[in-house]
């Protein structure tokens, strides 16, 4: 596994249930501010249940991709309370749980 992939997975594993971050926020947090597409590519290949990649969305608030489909991603985020009944997204900022 590459260092970049390890850093992406390690950061994403810290996102609390019920919150989301953007691909860009992940890239910035691990020291690669322009690598948000690479973050998406890494997460698209994730099959581990210990890396909650469904909690990473696009900066504009759209869901972005998900290996099991957008419908499943939306359902998971709703079940966790990351998207409320009005469609509001619960963004996560480190230190603001």
Backbone torsions φ then ψ of 86, nearest 5 degrees: -90, -5
Cα dihedral sign for 19, 77, 59, 52? Answer: positive
Q: Tell me whether residue 54 is in a domain.
A: yes
Q: What is the CATH number of the domain that holds 71?
A: 1.10.10.10
pTM of the predicted structure, to 2 decimals? 0.91
66 assigned to some structural domain: yes
Q: Is residue 92 part of a domain?
A: no
Whether 85 is in a domain gets the answer no
* Residues 32/4, Cβ–Cβ less than 8 Å: yes
CA angle 75, 25, 47 (to 5 degrees): 45
Q: What is the pLDDT of residue 95?
A: 53
Active-site positions? 53
Q: CB atoms < 10 A from the CB of 24, how many?
A: 18
Mean pLDDT of all residues in 38-63? 93
Could you tell me if residue 97 is inside a domain? Answer: no
Q: What is the pLDDT of residue 84?
A: 86
Residue 89 within any structural domain of the chain: no
Q: Is residue 38 part of a domain?
A: yes
Whether the CB-CB separation of 91 and 21 falls below 8 Å is answered with yes
Domain that holds residue 7: 3-80
Count: domains in the chain: 1
Q: Which has more pLDDT, 45 or 38?
A: 38
Residue 75 located in a structural domain: yes
């Amino acid at each position: 596994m590459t260092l970049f992939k390890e850093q992406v997975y390690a950061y994403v594993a810290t996102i609390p249930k019920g919150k989301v971050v953007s691909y860009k926020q992940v890239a910035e947090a691990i020291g690669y501010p322009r690598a948000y597409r690479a973050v998406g590519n890494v997460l698209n290949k994730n099959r581990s249940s210990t890396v909650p990649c469904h909690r990473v969305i696009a900066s504009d608030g759209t869901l972005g991709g998900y290996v099991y489909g957008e419908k499943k991603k939306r359902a998971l985020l709703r079940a966790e309370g990351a998207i409320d009944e009005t469609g509001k997204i619960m963004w996560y900022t480190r230190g603001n749980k």
